[in-house]
Amino acid sequence: MTELPERYRDAVQFAFGDTPALKDALLALVLSGKKTATCTALRDIKDAHEPMPKVGRRDVVLDGAGKPAAVIETTEVDICRFDEVGEDFARDEGEGDLSLEHWRESHETYFARNGGFSPDMELVCERFRLVETLQDDEQETGS
């Protein structure tokens, strides 16, 4: 297993998604450069007392097994309602067919199973850039 570099020991650590398979699939999109944005329900950040994303902060992304896999740097943070998310953001999330319709369907399903969905729910919309990959070359993400 790759050891977390000292410079990232105090970094926020998280995984995209809510299942090991989804975490690995979304991580693969980040590593390929297809995923440069993400969103979280504002209530989830508040309920978990997690720090809000902050422009310039570097976070460690974990894979589906909870191992450090990559470092991203936040480049933009906005709070908006679910029903106000636009096509550019949906495309930058890099998932599915990249359409706003697909984004809305998949994220409604995700939020419904993770605390509830409402079209006017507030989301923290974050754009980021990949800083570095942390996994060893022989490690694979996914199955």
Provide the sign of the torsion angle of the four alpha carbons 126, 131, 135, 140, taken in this order: positive
Residue 142 pLDDT = 45
Q: Is residue 139 part of a domain?
A: no
Per-residue model confidence (pLDDT) at position 3: 77
Is residue 20 in some structural domain?
yes
Q: Quick one: pLDDT at residue 135?
A: 75
Q: In this structure, is residue 27 part of a structural domain?
A: yes
* String of DSSP letters for 63-106: -TTS-EEEEEEEEEEEEEEGGG--HHHHHHHT-TT--HHHHHHH
CA distances from 74 to 65, 109, 129 (A): 23, 25, 7
CB atoms within 10 A of CB 4: 15
Cβ contact 86:100 at 8 Å: yes
Q: Domain range holding 43?
A: 6-133
Query: Is 142 among the domain residues?
Result: no
**What pLDDT does residue 48 have?**
87
Q: What is the CATH number of the domain that holds 97?
A: 3.10.400.10
User: What pLDDT shows up at residue 138?
Assistant: 46
Number of domains in the chain: 1
Q: For the chain (length 143 residues), average pLDDT per consecutive 10? A: 84 95 97 97 92 96 96 98 97 93 96 96 98 71 43
